[in-house]
Amino acid sequence: MRSNRKATDHTMPVSESLSLRLYSDTRPHLKQIATLQKGLILVYKGRELVGEGTGFGVPVARYRNRTYFSSSSTGLVFQKDHCTMAIKQFNLDTIYELRLSDTRIENRTLRTFARRLSELYEKHRHWRPILQQSLLNRLGMRNSFVPTKPAGKVTVNYRICDSIIHVQVDVMLSDRSHLQKVCILNEQSSRSFNKYFDSEGTTLLNSQIGAWDRVEADWACLTNEGDEAGFRLWKVHGATLYRGREFTNATLDWIGLDFELGPKTTRFEYDIEVFEGVKPK
């Protein structure tokens, strides 16, 4: 799936109404992450439900001073033993930056301020209402994804059998000396999914879900109030599972269940169940 080849897409049916789609380029080109690679996109009755989410199984590497994303990839899709196999190798060749107007923030004080905003947003729930993207906009700051020397590659194997996606992640980074964590994102649209529930009986709607909160339950689901379609992930030993949701009309539209891995992780496996109509038990 190289960006310099003709773009392709593969749609893989799960049921009459539900399917999964994988693009070779960075489609769908939506909002801030238009130039970034996506994972598996959930499709319900022909409508993509990803919004500004990344899709299922997308790697991000966070170093001490930089966070790496992917804007190019290679891959293939084929059938094996009555299952669909999709392999996508993500090149971690793009970094996230915060810019003041059209200028990269190089001043040490400003960079420290930007980093602290990010840390506060992740760690302190009561700060979140005043740390939304609108605040950064008012300060003249904006997010930017900038091509850079690759930090390495992450190969993601998706094995799709009926309603279960088995995901295998192989992390191949050239330098781990300042690596803090690797995140595997599993995100779709917050317009399409606004209900969270888990094995402990917790049920949350819309803003109650929060922007970044740890999941303590054995499994967690995201669906809509009508239970038309949804997906479930299970906790995995050695990784931390988080739930998150952000929605504003102008800038943000994602919801997800994301894994956080330690810096020494080289391989990670987990399952995703996609479903329609029936709530998992």
Assess contact for 48 and 38: CB atoms under 8 A: no
- Backbone phi, psi, residue 168, to 5°: -120, 125
Assess contact for 81 and 87: CB atoms under 8 A: no
Please write the tens of the pLDDT for every residue from 139-186: 455 567 889 999 999 999 999 999 999 999 999 999 898 999 999 999
Q: 3-state DSSP call for residue 69?
A: strand
CA distance readout (Å), 50 to 5, 219, 236: 24, 21, 24
To which H or E segment does residue 112 belong?
helix 108-123
Q: How far is CA 27 from the centre of its chain?
A: 14
To which H or E segment does residue 137 belong?
helix 133-138
Burial of 124 (0-12, 13-18, 19+ CB in 10 A): exposed
- DSSP at 133: H
Please write the tens of the pLDDT for every residue from 206-259: 989 987 899 999 999 999 877 789 999 999 999 999 999 988 765 678 999 999
Q: Which residues of 4-32 are buried (b: 16+ CB within 10 A; e: fewer)?
A: eeeeeebebebeeebbbbbbbbbbbebee
pLDDT at 8: 81
Cβ neighbors of 40 (< 8 A, separation 6 or more) are 20, 21, 22, 55, 56, 57, 86, 158, 165
**Separation CA 150–CA 48 (nearest Å):** 30
pLDDT at 151: 95
Domains of the chain as residue ranges with CATH: 9-91+150-275 (2.70.98.10)
Please write the tens of the pLDDT for every residue from 12-60: 999 999 999 999 889 987 777 888 999 999 999 999 999 889 999 999 9
